[in-house]
Amino acid sequence: MIELICRLLRKDGVQSDIHVLSDNTKQKLIEVDGTPVTRSIRIGYIATTPFSLNAFRDFRALRTPNSLIHIHSPYPLGEILFLLFGRKMKSVVTYHSDIVGYEFLYFFYKPLQYLFLKKVDVIVATSEKYKESSAVLKKFAPKVKVIPLGISDDWDKVAETELAPKVTEVLMSDYMLFLGALRGYKGLKVLLEAAKKTKSQIIIAGDGPLKEDLERIIKTQSIKNVTLLGAVTEQEKNALLSNCSALVLPSTMRSEAFGIVLLEASAHSKPMISTKLGTGTDLINQHMETGLVVSKKSANDLASAMNFLIDNQHVRLEMGQKARLLFEQKYTAKVMSQHYLDLYKELQN
């Protein structure tokens, strides 16, 4: 998202510099698609937060008198850097998600987060739903604006490479697709339970800490209609999206704050099955319009939704067309970058 905004806004005369942490100790300064990137050496993690001593020096060096800083949060180190060195700069923070499932760590982070959000000029929520449902954002409501995330749909420009045989084999069948990181909040164990109650083939593409657990469940419970593909390339991802019957995102927690993969499915004119979370996912996938929205953690509801779409091809096609239309209206990278350009101009004036 960061690189995408920088690339698109460069056409409107916005010069950007990106600051990140990296394990690469040899090349500090690089260029990504025309945007300079400063990489501070990551020396480790404090709790789950990446940390760098060089970041303090590098961040200070990037400041210019009339520059504007745009931070993506939660990011404790970036918030500390802003409070130390960036408070005189015009500032925007894109607030991606509440802290979910780390109550003990959040107890220590909460004062920093509060001070940071109090000092920034504008807080951007990625959906109206998240703005309304986040206890954190409610405290700063007067300065919260909504700018939905957007993606590019120029997948035809992705460099062509040979597809892995396992992917080519999948493309010859009908299947429902899960695409993303294999993490607890994604609801993948619910998906495996639902798989037992559906006739659909289910393809799980992605990698992550749950992989071994999922493999064990599939093997011990003899779930024959689920295939774990592992990590896929950008080209393979687009091929899987283009050929699937529908995308399934059975997330169970608010950590799924937006669901970029829903936009990717929409861009490919595919219907979606997602869960009601009170986040941006509820706006991207609209029940009985662009797909089906079911109760979280309900294998029965998830299986029923998959079976319904399997049995009703005309409904799948209609929902996919509506999903593409909604994507074009609200969720393209061009729409997102224009909103940020307008916001930057407003702050600078």
HSE, CB side, 13 Å, CA atoms: give it for residue 36: 8
Report the chain's mean pLDDT, rounded to a whole number.
93
Q: Which helix (H) or strand (E) holds 39?
A: strand 35-41
- Other Cβ atoms closer than 10 A to 145: 14
Q: What is the pLDDT of residue 63?
A: 85
Going from the N-terminus, what domains does the chain have, and what CATH number goes with each? 2-150+332-348 (3.40.50.2000), 155-330 (3.40.50.2000)
* DSSP single-letter state for residue 332: B
Q: What is the rounded distance in angstroms from the CA atom of residue 69 to the CA atom of residue 94?
A: 11
- The residue whose two tokens read 């789950």 is 48
Q: For residues 53 and 43, is the Cβ–Cβ distance under 8 A? A: yes
Q: For residues 17 and 36, is the Cβ–Cβ distance under 8 A? A: yes
**pLDDT tens per residue across span 31-87:** 988 899 999 999 999 877 899 999 999 999 998 878 899 999 999 999 999 999 998
Q: What is the rounded distance in angstroms from the CA atom of residue 132 to the CA atom of residue 144?
A: 10
Strand partners, 178: 204
List the structure tokens of 232: 């896929």
- The residue-averaged pLDDT of 226-246 equals 94
Q: What is the pLDDT of residue 243?
A: 95
Q: What is the pLDDT of residue 48?
A: 78
